[in-house]
Amino acid sequence: MKSFKNNILVLFAHPALQNSRVNSQLINYVKDLKGVTFHDLYETYPDFYIDVKYEQNLLLKNDIIVFHHPLFWFSVPAILREWMDLVLQHMWAYGKTGMALQGKKLFNVITTGGRESMFQHDGYYGHTMIEFLTPIMQSAHVCGMEFLPPFVVHGTRNITQPEIKRYGDDYQKLILSLRDGRVDLEAARSHQRINSDLESIIKTI
Ligand SMILES: Cc1cc2nc3c(=O)[nH]c(=O)nc-3n(C[C@H](O)[C@H](O)[C@H](O)COP(=O)(O)O)c2cc1C
Where are the extended beta strands (E) located within 13-169?
36-40, 64-70, 105-111, 146-147, 151-153
Best of 111, 119, 129 for a ligand 1 pocket test (most atoms within 8 Å of beta carbon):
111
In angstroms, how far is CA 116 from the centroid of its own chain? Answer: 18
- Average pLDDT, integer, range 15-39: 98
**Domain map of the chain by residue range?**
8-201
Q: Kindly report the pTM of this predicted structure.
A: 0.98
* Ligand 1 midpoint to CA 114 (Å): 8
Does the pLDDT of residue 146 top 90, yes or no?
yes
CATH superfamily of domain region 8-201: Flavodoxin domain (3.40.50.360)
Residue 75's pLDDT is what?
98
> Count of CB atoms within 10 A of residue 97's CB?
9
In angstroms, how far is CA 25 from the centroid of its own chain? Answer: 16
Does the pLDDT of residue 2 top 80, yes or no?
no
The whole-chain average pLDDT of the chain stands at 97
Best of 25, 28, 71 for a ligand 1 pocket test (most atoms within 8 Å of beta carbon):
71
For residue range 84-126, list pLDDT tens digits in order. Answer: 999 999 999 999 999 999 999 999 999 999 999 999 999 999 9
For residue range 40-88, list pLDDT tens digits in order. Answer: 999 999 999 999 999 999 999 999 999 999 999 999 999 999 999 999 9
For residue range 152-182, list pLDDT tens digits in order. Answer: 999 999 999 999 999 999 999 999 999 999 9
What is the band of 1 on the pLDDT scale with cuts at 50, 70, 90? low
Ligand 1 pocket member 71 (CB < 6 A): yes
Distance CA 65, CA 68 (A): 10
